[in-house]
Amino acid sequence: MDMITDNYVGFSTSAKGNSSFQAFSPLNNQNIPGDFTRATAEEFETALTLAQKAFPVYSALPVEDRAKFLDAIADEIMNLGDTLLERCVLESGLPLGRITGERGRTCGQLKLFAQVLREGSWVDARIDKAQPDRQPIPKSDIRRMLVPIGPVAVYGASNFPLAFSTAGGDTASALASGCPVIVKSHSSHPGTNALVTTAIITAAKKTGMPDGVFSSLYLDHEHAIKLVEHPAIKAVGFTGSQSIGMTLFNAAVNRPEPIPVYAEMSSINPVVLMENILKSKKDTIATALTGSVNLGVGQFCTNPGLILLEDNETSKNFLSAFAEEFKKSVPATMLNKSIHKACISGVKELFEKDNVSLVATADLSANQEKTEAQPVAFSISADDFMKDKSLSEEVFGPVTLFVLCKGISQIVEVLESLQGQLTATIHAEKEDERNLQPIVNVISQKAGRLIYGGYPTGVEVCHSMVHGGPFPATSNANSTSVGTAAILRFVRPLAYQDFPEAFLPEALKNSNPLGIMRLVDGVLTRDKI
pLDDT value, residue 3: 81
CA atoms of 123 and 353, how far apart (whole Å): 53
Mean pLDDT by 10 residues, the chain (529 residues): 87 96 94 96 98 98 97 98 97 96 98 98 98 95 98 96 97 98 97 98 98 98 97 97 96 98 97 97 98 96 97 97 98 95 96 97 91 96 97 96 98 98 97 94 98 96 97 96 98 98 97 97 96
**Known catalytic membership, residue 264:** yes
Q: Work out the percent of the chain whose per-residue pLDDT is above 70.
A: 100
Residue 97: CB atoms within 10 A of its CB come to 10
Mean pLDDT of the chain: 97
Looking at 264, 275, 372, 394, which residue is catalytic? 264
Q: Write down the catalytic residue from 301, 372, 394, 405.
A: 301
CA 339 to chain centre: 18
**Which homologous superfamily does the CATH classification assign to the domain defined by 270-452?**
Aldehyde Dehydrogenase; Chain A, domain 2 (3.40.309.10)
- Fold agreement between 40-265+479-489 and 270-452: no
Instruction: Give the number of other Cβ atoms within 10 Å of residue 28's Cβ.
Output: 13
Domain spans of the chain, in order of start: 40-265+479-489, 270-452
Is residue 119 flagged as an active site residue?
A: no
Residue 136: the pLDDT is: 95
Round to whole Å and give the CA distance between 290 and 402. 13
Please tell me the distance from the alpha carbon of residue 413 to that of residue 387, in angstroms, as a whole number. Answer: 12
Handedness of CA 273, 278, 282, 284 (dihedral sign): negative
CATH 3.40.605.10 describes domain 40-265+479-489: yes
According to the 3-state scheme, what is the secondary structure of 323-358?
HHHHCCCCCEECCCHHHHHHHHHHHHHHHHCCCCEE
User: What pLDDT is attached to residue 1?
Assistant: 59
- What pLDDT shows up at residue 374? 96
Q: Enumerate residues 6+ apart whose C-beta is below 8 A from 322.
A: 285, 286, 289, 290, 359, 360, 377
Query: How many Å separate Cα 244 from the centre of its chain?
Result: 15
pLDDT in tens, 233-274: 999 999 999 999 999 999 999 999 999 999 999 999 999 999
Q: Residue 368: its pLDDT value, please?
A: 84
> pTM of the full predicted structure?
0.95
Question: What is the DSSP secondary-structure string of 212-223?
Answer: TSEEEE---HHH
Q: What pLDDT score was predicted for residue 528?
A: 96
